Amino acid sequence: DLFSGEYGPTDDVLAVAHDPLKLFFFFMPKDFWKDVAKESHRYFLQNLTARVDRMFENQKTPGKTTKKQFMNKESKKSDIKPHEVLHVLGLLLAHMLNPHRRRIREHWSRHGVGAVSRGTFNEWMSRNWLEHVMVNLHFTNNAGARASPTEL
């Protein structure tokens, strides 16, 4: 017998069940999204030097831009905000409902494709910023004391 106590939805859940957004935040509280944004920005900063090194090595015209110039440009990026993480989640859900064959970036096309009219996603977030958030999306600190490559 795994559980013999009361079961079913609690009064707290029933109180917000009529509103999908309140129900979402009941199970995924705003503080959680604040932590995700903080850890995502921390991950960005932890990998900044390696990213700049790759950008410098992969530039089409060698030496055109210095590492310092790349670093200045990348380090000026603002912190990832909790609402931006939620916008990314929403855009991914919208993409899931109306996928394009190639990439999510097609949703920023200047031409209407399928059920999503042109430029719809751009109202929420630029394509480059979505890619920035996606690349850096993190839930925990990889360099933290509890981080271990063997933990799941």
Give residue limits of the domains in the chain: 11-46+80-136
Looking at residue 106, its pLDDT comes to 72
Contact yes or no for 70/52 (Cβ under 8 A): yes
91: confidence class by pLDDT, cuts 50, 70, 90: confident
Distance CA 31, CA 82 (A): 9
How confident is the model over 122-144, as a mean pLDDT?
A: 88
How confident is the model over 133-137, as a mean pLDDT?
A: 95
The whole-model pTM stands at 0.78
Q: pLDDT tens-digit profile of 10-62? A: 999 999 999 999 999 999 999 999 999 999 999 999 999 999 999 999 998 88
For the record, the structure tokens of 28 come out as: 């995924």
